[in-house]
Amino acid sequence: MKIVNVVGARPNFMKVAPIMEAYRRAPELRPMLVHTGQHYDERMSDLFFRELGMPKPDVNLEVGSGSHAKQTADIMVRFEPVMLEHKPDAVLVVGDVNSTIACGMVAVKLGIKLIHVEAGLRSGDRSMPEEINRLLTDSISDLLFCTERSGMENLAREGVSPQRCHMVGNCMVDTLLKNIARARQSDVLKRLELDERSYVVVTLHRPSNVDDPAALARLLDVFEVVQKDFRIVFPVHPRTRQRLGQDGLKQRVDAMGNLMLLEPAGYLDFVRLCEASRLVLTDSGGIQEETTIMRVPCITLRDNTERPVTCEIGTNQLVGNDPQRVLGAYRKVLSGEAGHGSVPPLWDGRAAERIVEIVRRGRF
Ligand code: UD1
């Protein structure tokens, strides 16, 4: 069985890496790797391939950035001839980025089976582009792999046949557990002159936080308070870098002596930075999961999460971007009242193995 595996944006790489590795133990499966080129900067893409030991993509569609419509359409137009040339039996997509739905749609219209890894997650917020990508991809997938129970429940509620849905655990966690010892060898703390637990990590890139200057300004209110207690280590996504340069915001950022803006971090440095931090403030999806595994308190700067298990079982608090609520959650972590948690079921480093085992049975 020939399977095309799709990656496009940064959070896809750590999900597909363990699946590519698991194929090695299933010689009857012939995997191919296609990179859409949605993310293309060295520090958003190639660095991750090297650090995660991923094979070079067989094909790179080199689509680059654009509006949602343009990016999605460009991926579709460039992916279709690759499918016609290689005629795979299945296409495997991960997560919820534009590459996920674009390649998924091309596959099913050509009669190719579609496999979705990280299916069923729902934030309930249709203003998030990722939520639209999740709903659409799941509705056309033949085989759906879930990371948490809420995913299975959402799919059942939406009428997806239970035979197609499998709870397998979390591929991002597979990658984290595999690489944590290597991450501990990183000298990033030394390079940045940081001591363990003496700093807070921040990441921000959601349009709802960074595209609205008022929302971004509210988060700067938070950072102004936190940086009096801790250094803030902030690897900045390219989208956010553009927004922080705006009038009124730049002066405030420059005035914060304890706020360190960094280039996007590589995987190993980032894991090390998070693991040794006092807490993490983020609007990312995956980081809510990674902090849960590392038992680091996480405060999520969003009004909803598609990963509720990180709040129910893990270390996450969901607070939005209102400064008083964020600082309330922050104080709860410092007082020891919040930020504890344990590991969700099946987040054990073997999700990719389970996925490949089910795919090789080929009953879908
Ligand atoms: C995308 C995903 C988001 C994911 C995030 C992780 C969608 C809808 N969104 O958002 O779910 O959490 O990736 O990073 O697919 N840019 C660069 N270099 C790059 C890539 C992007 O400079 O290598 C800049 C460009 O100005 C671009 C902007 O970042 O316009 C946004 O990139 P894009 O891929 O559109 O979305 P992300 O915000 O990265």
Q: What domains does the chain contain, in order, with CATH numbers?
A: 2-170+347-360 (3.40.50.2000), 182-335 (3.40.50.2000)
Q: Considering only CA atoms, which residue is closest to atom 21 of ligand 1? A: 39
Give helix then strand counts, H and E, for the chain.
Answer: 17, 13
pLDDT-derived band at 362, boundaries 50, 70, 90:
confident
Q: What is the overall mean pLDDT for the chain?
A: 97
Question: Do 222 and 327 form a contact (C-beta atoms < 8 A)?
Answer: yes
Q: Say whether pLDDT at 364 is over 80.
A: no
Query: pLDDT at position 363, please?
Result: 74
Question: pTM for the full model?
Answer: 0.97
Instruction: Give the helix/strand (H/E) hosting 22.
Output: helix 10-23
Query: pLDDT at position 361, please?
Result: 92
Per-residue pLDDT tens digits for 16-65: 999 999 999 999 999 999 999 999 999 999 999 999 999 999 999 999 99
Q: Say whether pLDDT at 312 is over 80.
A: yes
The Å distance, Cα 238 to ligand 1 centre, comes to: 8
Query: pLDDT at position 118, please?
Result: 98
Q: What percent of the chain has pLDDT over 90?
A: 98
pLDDT-derived band at 288, boundaries 50, 70, 90:
very high
Question: What secondary structure does DSSP assign to 116-150, as a single string?
Answer: EES-S---S-TTSHHHHHHHHHHHH-SEEEESSHH
The Å distance, Cα 207 to ligand 1 centre, comes to: 10
Question: What secondary structure does DSSP assign to 175-233, as a single string?
Answer: HHHHHHHHHHT--HHHHTT--TTSEEEEE---HHHHTSHHHHHHHHHHHHHHHHHSEEE
Burial per residue of 138-177, b for 16 or more beta-carbon CB atoms within 10 angstroms, e otherwise? beebbbbbbbbbbbbebbeeeebeeebbbbbbbbbbbbbb
Mean pLDDT of 90-116: 98
The Å distance, Cα 28 to ligand 1 centre, comes to: 35
Residue 205 catalytic?
yes
Mean pLDDT of 305-329: 98
- For a mutational test of ligand 1's pocket, the pick from 239, 270, 283, 290, i.e. the residue with the most ligand atoms closer than 8 A to its C-beta, is 239
Q: Is the CB of 263 under 6 A from ligand 1?
A: no
Query: pLDDT at position 57, please?
Result: 98
